[in-house]
Amino acid sequence: MLLMSRPQLARWLLPTLEVLWGICTFAQSRVTNVHQLYACRFLVGMLEAPVFAGTHFILAGFLVFPGIPDSPKPFYFTNDDIALAKARLERAKIRKPGKLGLDVFKRTLRRWHIWVFVFCYICMIISGYPDSYMNLWLKEQGFSVVQINQLPTVTYAINILASWLGTTLAAIYPSWTVYTSATICIVFSSICMIIWDIPKPLKFVAWYLFGVSGCLSPVLYSTVNTVVKGDSEERALILGAMMTFGYSFNIWVPLLLFPTAGPNGAPRWRIGWPVALTFHVLLWTGFIVAILFTKRAVNTEEEESSSGEEPVLIPTEAHIKD
């Protein structure tokens, strides 16, 4: 991810990772033993890991791919266009990418951004794990194979709609209102799952409302890119850390909280659903904390800039007469 912060390198790095990822994915169809499959899966994971966070970094950091205005310009931009882009960056107080070194880690770890946003992403990964297992409940209820395959698609449709609508509304209204609205829906669904013995129509509503969580991840990523827009290296490090620590928890936490069988197994998850509800609330809390910290920093910066300016005397009528 740190290499993604280099505009001239990112134009080659991200497409290369995506192409190699695709090649390794297709290569799995030609494996002849399990060891070859292990190797392909390892390469797929290694190449895929930087792509998702890297795409968010690219889209939020550059005027247009592959890195305008810092990389060599394409033919469809004039010198005036490049100059305008650089002037806008200066007005927004966004510095150019600096050198990669230990200072990147030092200044990142000294700030609150990485700690709060990584915590939020870990909470999101843990809390969202059981949302997509409606098929296990349908199987338990005796639905047909066709119904088990078709009915959960409503959740995915709501997920897609929420992802687009949530990010759109977050650009119009304060992002915390979108996050709070989505969290209320998810908390309601989680409470229904904890109670469990509820009417079947309400259970369907609860499962489908989990699709609203589709807006949480893109809004969180856009918030990270907005809050840390002035430091490309820190932003890259935070996005990479979110993915790394989030999915490192995803390796082992589901084995403890969401077992497939047993008295606490799927889809009842007597322990898993209360824990998921807790992490949903913690995710919302962390997001609100990030918003409050950001507002405090902005207010402090505005106060410092206003205090440094000399007062402008406006001549009154008395002064004019004198």
Residue where one domain finishes, among candidates 97, 116, 144: 97
Supply the pLDDT for residue 65.
Answer: 47
**Are residues 122 and 72 both part of a single domain?**
no
Q: Domain for residue 304, yes or no?
A: no
Looking at 97, 116, 140, the residue that finishes a domain is 97
CATH number, domain of 268, equals: 1.20.1250.20
- The pLDDT value given to residue 67: 52
* 319 lies in some domain: no
Give me the helices (H) in 62-101, please.
79-91
In sequence order, which residues have a C-beta less than 8 Å from that of residue 205 and are 6 or more positions away?
Answer: 189, 192
For the segment 182-197, what is each residue's pLDDT rounded down to a tens digit? 999 999 999 999 999 9
Domain for residue 317, yes or no? Answer: no
pLDDT at 45 over 60: yes
Domain shared by 68 and 167, yes or no: no
Q: Tell me the pLDDT band of 298, cut-offs 50, 70 and 90.
A: confident
Confidence of residue 199 (pLDDT cuts 50, 70, 90): very high
Helix axes 216-227, 232-257, angle to 10 degrees: 150
Identify the pLDDT of residue 187.
97
Look at residue 126 and tell me if it is in a domain: yes
Are residues 88 and 156 located together in one domain of the fold? Answer: no
Task: Determine which of 87-101, 112-126, 148-162, 294-308 has the lowest per-residue pLDDT on average.
Answer: 87-101
Q: List pLDDT tens digits, range 219-274.
A: 999 899 889 887 888 888 898 899 889 989 998 999 999 998 888 888 999 999 99
Same domain, yes or no: 200 and 69: no
Indicate whether 124 and 37 sit together in one domain. Answer: no
Tell me if 312 is assigned to some domain. no
Is residue 285, in this structure, part of any structural domain at all?
yes
Distances (CA, A) of 145 to 135, 136, 153: 10, 11, 13
- Shared-domain flag, residues 60 and 148: no
- Is there a single domain that holds both residue 135 and residue 246? yes
Please provide the DSSP assignment of 180-222 as one string. Answer: HHHHHHHHHHHHHHHH--S-HHHHHHHHHHGGGGGGHHHHHHH
Residues 20 and 166 reside in one and the same domain: no
Structural domain range at position 66? 1-97
More confident residue, 39 or 261: 39
Do 223 and 249 lie in one domain? The reply is: yes
pLDDT value at residue 6:
66
CA dist 75 and 72 (Å) reads 10
Task: With cut-offs at 50, 70 and 90, classify the pLDDT of residue 9.
Answer: confident
